[in-house]
A and B are shown apart, each in its own frame.
Chain A
Amino acid sequence: MKSGAPAAPHAASADRTPGEDTALLLTPPVPRAGWRLLPARVIAMCAVELQKLRHDRTELYTRAVQPALWLLIFGQTFTRIRAIPTGGIPYIDYMAPGIIAQSAMFIAIFYGIQIIWERDAGILNKLLVTPTPRSALITGKAFAAGVKSLVQAVVVIVIAALLGVALTWNPLKLLGVALAVVLASVFFSCLSMTIAGIVLSRDRLMGFGQAITMPLFFGSNALYPVSVMPGWLQAVSKANPLSYQVDALRGLLLGTPAHLGADFGVLAIAAALGITAASSLLGRLAR
């Protein structure tokens, strides 16, 4: 019997004629094939993330507190001090893209904890028993993290605008901002899921998450330009995808000189590498 055939009526109930409506539950759906499978899974995972956010926005509000404090306290204070060379723009404007990138990264970098929770709750195993290749599942999860980060970024942009940061409202540039946030979140969530695939436990992952977020943040151009860093930190910053994200956000939102081609190129390559690494380790979480 072909695998696509509908479930045969049970012998004991062969004389039963299922109603037209029940018949729908006897017909397996036609499988998507080829390139259409990946976007379908990504959309499914992103839809789930948005549904969850619609039901419970607590995380969105609580996570807005920290970036608001960064902008309010750190931003306004350092704007007065004028200790950091910003190329002639107020410091709060200079740091706003960095804080947007930071808040998006903080959401994505702890996504591995969610996948471990989903493993413990049986949700991951159930998804792994669907016709979803592991790479598609990871890509879906990573873009779902991107969607969540994007919603968070919108909140921070609104806070920054309320604090008087002179941001662009050019729709095309904002689209570029969204792309940069999503690509970077894909990378950071995959980094987190890769570590989850190695350490396998929530407690260990929490430790790793704490250990890498601050170096990633302070080892980037989020708070100060690369030119003021010592040589070794400049090298770290060059290898840090967060720097490329911040450079792109700053260029798009504030109009400062940026290397958009290189920024998006690095972010895209980092995202692809992250997906590959996390996908290859997903099997360890299923065991």
Chain B
Amino acid sequence: MTTDPADTSATPAPAAAGPAAVREAVSCAGLTYAFGGTRAVDDLDLGVHEGEVFGLLGPNGAGKTTAIRCVTTLLPVPAGTVRVFGHDAARERMAVRRLLGYVPQQLSADGGLTGRENVALFARVFDVPRRERAARVDLALRAVDLCDAVDRLAATYSGGMVRRLELAQALVSAPRLLILDEPTIGLDPIARTGVWEHINAVREATGMTVLVTTHYMDEADQYCDRVGLMHRGRVRALGTPEELRRGLAEREATDTLPTLEDVFRDVAGSGLDDNTGGGFREVRSTRRTARRVG
């Protein structure tokens, strides 16, 4: 399903369509967030179904990270509503946070701690009782294949291992919604595949919902159940990668199936210009992450 790029209203979530709709893990309605005079997120409507891997795609500066930060309660919700499994992200912050596992864009494991200590910290702050803490930490580390490196300092890990460690940190509290902000940025193709394989294995084993932002269209095409293409603070197209690609092929009356990037260029229209690419801080953060993993 795509929307006209000229149409500034965001695409409504399919789940809002009727009483038989699937349950939504995340629902945003009219979400707006501005930095000064710049609307990073502009009247965003979005629904993420329970149990799916949902990819929020777009270039730097599209508003993906700001939207994610509103969902995670890191930013307030000045206009509109954000609900996570029915909990209002503005009013029930603690309830929302207990449902979340969050992996930020930066390599956020503490290099001064071992892998086990990094995960144990998150077990502690999510109130895992002492009697089951060690078992949970071991399980989370085993789920991401880090058993052999648990007692090494995270500073000695490769980029892919750090990402897997962060995944273990997020998993130790049994979240219902896993939020990953650019999880594969800066990784080599093999490490990227490894990270995605672990994300999928965890999803298969736990059934948790995964909300991921990325600007790698090929990854989204391969690993996401549904994607939302975001540009200038709004979702311009929403659907399965297959639906979006077939939709464009039909509109252009071509037999060659276009890529998601083609779809994105189509829905963004002439909007891909010098204003895309994100602000200085965002680009610096992205580059820093890429440098640390590379």
B110 to A, closest residue via Cβ = A123
Task: Assess whether A40 is in contact with B124, with CB atoms less than 8 Å apart.
Answer: yes
Chain B residues 59 to 115 lying within 8 A of chain A, measured CB to CB, are: 69, 72-75, 85-87, 94-95, 97-100, 102-108, 110, 112-114
Cβ of A259 < 8 Å from any Cβ of B? no
Complex formed: what's the CA distance from A133 to B97 in Å?
Answer: 11
Q: Known contacts A40-B124, A131-B98; decide if A28 and B208 are in contact (CB<8 Å).
A: no
B23 at the interface (CB under 8 A from A): yes
Contact of A128 among B74, B122, B175 (CB under 8 A): B74
A to B contact number (C-beta, < 8 Å): 160
Pairwise interchain contact A7-B208, C-beta atoms closer than 8 A = yes
Residues of A within 8 A of B124 (CB): 40, 43-44, 47
Interface residues of A in 125-163 (CB under 8 A from B): 125-133
Q: How large is the interface on A (under 10, 10 to 19, 20 to 34, 35 or more residues)?
A: 35 or more
Counting CB contacts under 8 A, is B176 at the interface? Answer: yes
Report the Cα distance A24→B171, complex, angstroms: 11
Is the Cβ of A126 less than 8 Å from the Cβ of B94? no
Smallest beta-carbon distance A17→chain B, Å = 11
One digit per residue, 1 when the CB lies within 8 angstroms of any chain A CB and 0 when it does not, for chain B 124-138 equals 111111001001100
Name B176-228 residues within 8 Å CB distance of A.
Answer: 176, 203-208
A7→B207 contact, CB < 8 A:
yes
B175 touches A1 (CB 8 A): no
Which residues 225-258 of B sit at the A interface, judged by CB distance below 8 A? none
Shortest Cβ distance from residue A245 to the other chain B in the assembled complex, whole angstroms: 28
**B117 in complex: contacting residue of A3, A26, A48, CB < 8 Å:** A48
* B residues near A52, Cβ cutoff 8 Å: 110, 112-113
Q: Across the two chains, which residue of chain B brings its CB closest to A33?
A: B127
The reply to whether B108 and A30 form a contact with Cβ atoms under 8 Å apart is: no
Which of the residues A22, A30, A47, A121 comes within 8 Å of B205, measured between beta carbons? A22
Task: For A8, give its contact among B51, B100, B172 (CB under 8 Å).
Answer: B51
Indicate if A122 sits at the interface (CB-CB under 8 A): yes
Closest Cβ of chain B to A24, distance in Å, is 6
Of A4, A26, A130, the residue contacting B126 (CB under 8 A) is: A130
CB neighbours (8 Å) of B139 from chain A are: 21-22, 24-25
A7 touches B175 (CB 8 A): yes
Considering the chains assembled together, what is the distance between the CA atoms of A19 and B114 in angstroms? 27
Does B174 lie at the interface of the complex (its beta carbon under 8 Å from any beta carbon of A)?
yes
**B-side interface residues, number (CB < 8 Å):** 60
Which residues of chain B have C-beta atoms less than 8 A from A37's C-beta? 127
Is there contact, CB below 8 Å, between B153 and A55?
yes
Contacts A40-B124, A44-B121, A55-B113 hold; do A26 and B206 have CB atoms under 8 A apart?
yes
Q: Which residues of A lie under 8 Å from residue B285 when comparing CB positions? A: 120
Say yes or no for A286: interface residue by CB 8 A criterion.
yes
Q: What residues of B have a CB within 8 angstroms of the CB of A127 in the complex?
A: 125
Q: How far is the CA of A5 from the CA of B50 in the complex (A)?
A: 13
Is B174's CB under 8 angstroms from A7's CB? yes
Give min CB distance, A33 to chain B, whole Å.
9
Q: Which of B104, B113, B117, B132 contacts A24 (CB under 8 A)? A: B132
B108 touches A122 (CB 8 A): yes
The answer, among A1, A44, A51, A123, for a CB contact under 8 Å with B85, is: A1
Q: Which of A22, A43, A121, A129 has the most B CB atoms < 10 Å from its CB?
A: A129
Interface members, chain A 43-62 (any B CB < 8 Å): 43-44, 47-48, 51-52, 55-56
Q: For B23, list chain A residues within 8 Å (CB).
A: 1
A133 — nearest CB in chain B belongs to which residue? Answer: B94
Complex contact A122–B174 (CB within 8 A) = no
Q: Is B173 an interface residue (CB 8 A)?
A: yes
Check A207 for interface membership: any CB of B closer than 8 A: no
Query: Does A255 make an interface contact (CB < 8 A)?
Result: no
- Give complex CA distance A27, B175 in Å: 9
Tell me, yes or no, whether A287 is within 8 Å of chain B by CB. yes
Nearest A residue (CB) for B170: A126
Contact bitstring A190-201, B, C-beta under 8 A = 1, else 0: 000000000000
- Chain B residue at smallest Cβ distance from A41: B125
Report if B143 contacts A (CB, 8 A).
yes
Q: Which residues of B contact A3 (CB under 8 A)?
A: 85-87, 95, 98-99, 176
Residues of A with Cβ closer than 8 Å to B? 1, 3-14, 16, 18, 21-22, 24-32, 37, 40-41, 43-44, 47-48, 51-52, 55-56, 120-123, 125-133, 286-287
Extra contacts besides A40-B127, A129-B102 (11): CB < 8 Å = A1-B23, A1-B85, A8-B207, A10-B207, A10-B208, A24-B132, A55-B113, A123-B108, A126-B102, A126-B104, A131-B94
28 A-B pairs with C-beta separation under 8 A: A1-B86, A3-B86, A6-B174, A7-B174, A7-B206, A13-B205, A18-B206, A21-B135, A22-B139, A22-B206, A25-B171, A26-B174, A26-B206, A31-B94, A32-B127, A37-B127, A47-B124, A48-B113, A48-B121, A51-B114, A122-B104, A122-B105, A125-B102, A126-B108, A130-B97, A130-B126, A131-B127, A287-B75
The 5 A-B pairs of least Cβ separation, nearest first, read A122-B106, A122-B108, A10-B207, A122-B104, A44-B124
